[in-house]
Structure 1
């Protein structure tokens, strides 16, 4: 998998640069489809826009499914203010302070892109004495457009309307020390990792013991990305998503994180133990953690009523839903665990 690492990093950089807030992910899904087509991987598009790719295995009676999501946090135009600024509605769960000062772009219904900056309506410390103390709320935050506009009518003349999607500049940076700094590592890092794994399987003609599906979901940030399009014979369902880092967590930016429990409850115990065993057998840097405020495509699938064994792993990512960062070694450890799992001949049930 070391050979695939440059591909995975390069793919993440490209994918992170494609705006894809939940609800507006077609361009990112198209990018994934183009990559899969390079290796003659069969796939289909779901009615709600997700992509399901399939690699045949020796055993076609029991299937495995892995997910990663291409949708990201973002916003929508909630209101065009009388002063020519925009009020926003959040897409996904984040804090406004994490986007203050962020460059953004508005995509109009005609496809025109207009740039701006997310600020508070009381940004100037030379005018507002309490500027730094104001709570960052929906009412306080606004977009300053990079256009000569001073009122709502001038903004509307640009083609901007309520409901237009707003995406955040990812600021993708790969440092010489191997750190990857960017918004939307959650979960485009995992999408890139799965593409790297698929590339390796196809190019090296690796035989899989079980038919395996890869679901690239597009509504995870709003709770229902991976709850459908689960093929009938699927027994094991592994979500590949970010590992949460913070006080009390064991996960760091260099390991593959294995989730024992999140806000939806425990993940399948035997599945988790199998993932730990594979990580140890392959000498991987891994940690087991609980993510207290988190839900995944796998937990969404269980809520939808699918009778599956569910698990969750992913690269450790710092500052989730803010200015995120991970390391190339976390990409590598996660990819190796995914590959070890796909080649394992043990099925939980």
Structure 2
């Protein structure tokens, strides 16, 4: 089976569109609406949970041992913690990210009366006033504040604007799509994964192929705060593949090109058989790939397993530089991910026992236990001792 063709222009357009929609965890209604509208245009049936997580289905030849892909539409952000006497706002982060990457960010704060623009600044932001103290200020969320672009000289002024404690703050993505394929933006985690899923869906529809089993496409709304795919997973799903970012950094094998298959994250190893099947599909279709292990990372798949779902899980990623900061990826990785996801969706069902939640030992899987054959090193002849004079 040859690889399906991925519409790169569509992938890029979808990514640009969803990057433009603010969606910190807890503020995802509009992006959920947008993704649903995109699914409607593709002709894919979907359903929406109370809070806005999305479950779409592509029908296969059988509903049993269904497969699922998952990516999250929510991003990092901040929330108003306190209205300060100087008219500025103290913040707390939404998700886990450093205030180092918040300093200087242009943002929107969403109040009940409407949205306001502003900038996150260090407490000592003027070099002309504080001189070297600007450089010695500690990095923490307690040492930054939000300056609102409206008249606000006191906490009372802020209240008059309608801004209150708990209001959501969205950070501008500032995306750049370069001609050489690099994409630089905040919130590529995981809006790039969402774009990959939609591009994969489009490619599968265009191919006219019907998968062996039903394929579910899950879009979650609270991954950055640890919830992930906890309540949206259908009971017939036997395998769940998360599509997210892989951290390309010193000590990591992730790359900004090709697919990075995560073999484990901080919650433990991913499924032995599913991860190796994905790697084999890469080899079969000559998709550039590498494997990695992440120490400080969790995904939608981890949340599903922790919630008690008995599913095989895997994580396939696009290499991202400066994750949760000023992120950079490459279109080569996104295309490669879409190609792998489509190949997996159309691949035969290898473990037929997975059609049942419970069964006997018959058909249960094996793992490698035999010792590997070793090639002996060639014998090296000892040099003749030199004759004594």
Q: Do they superpose with TM above 0.5?
A: yes
Among residues 230, 244, 249, which one is paired with 1:246 in the alignment? 249
- Aligned pair count? 348
Shift of 1:343: 0.6
> Which runs of 5 or more structure 2 residues have no equivalent in the other structure?
355-389
Larger mean CA deviation between 278-287 and 203-212 belongs to 203-212
Shift of 1:232: 1.0
User: What is the match of residue 156 of structure 1?
Assistant: 159
2:281 matches 1:278? yes
Among residues 112, 117, 140, which one is paired with 2:119 in the alignment? 117
User: What is the match of residue 382 of structure 2?
Assistant: none
Asked whether the equivalents of residues 44 and 56 of structure 2 are also in contact (C-alpha less than 8 Å), the reply is yes
User: What is the match of residue 25 of structure 2?
Assistant: 22
Write the distance in 2 (CA, Å) between the matches of 1:300 and 1:308: 12
User: What is the match of residue 83 of structure 1?
Assistant: 86
Write the distance in 1 (CA, Å) between the matches of 2:259 and 2:18: 21
CA gap of 1:179–1:82, structure 2 versus 1, over 3 A, is same
> Which runs of 5 or more structure 1 residues have no equivalent in the other structure?
none
Deviations 1:213-253 (A, max 9, x none): 11100000000121112111110011111111111111111
Deviations 1:91-134 (A, max 9, x none): 00000001110100001124x11000001111112222321121
User: What is the match of residue 290 of structure 2?
Assistant: 287
Larger mean CA deviation between 339-348 and 234-243 belongs to 339-348
Q: How does 1:112-261 map to 2 (within 5 A)?
A: 112-128=114-130, 129-261=132-264
3-state SS of 1:126 partner: helix
Asked whether the equivalents of residues 55 and 212 of structure 1 are also in contact (C-alpha less than 8 Å), the reply is yes
The structure having more radius of gyration, on CA atoms, is: 2
Shift of 1:202: 2.1
User: What is the match of residue 316 of structure 1?
Assistant: 319
Q: CA RMSD in A?
A: 1.1
Asked whether the equivalents of residues 61 and 233 of structure 1 are also in contact (C-alpha less than 8 Å), the reply is yes
2:109 matches 1:102? no
3-state SS of 2:9 partner: helix
Asked whether the equivalents of residues 259 and 289 of structure 2 are also in contact (C-alpha less than 8 Å), the reply is yes
CA gap of 1:347–1:25, structure 2 versus 1, over 3 A, is farther
Write the distance in 2 (CA, Å) between the matches of 1:338 and 1:244: 20
Asked whether the equivalents of residues 28 and 74 of structure 2 are also in contact (C-alpha less than 8 Å), the reply is yes
**TM-score of the superposed pair, with normalisation by structure 1:** 0.97
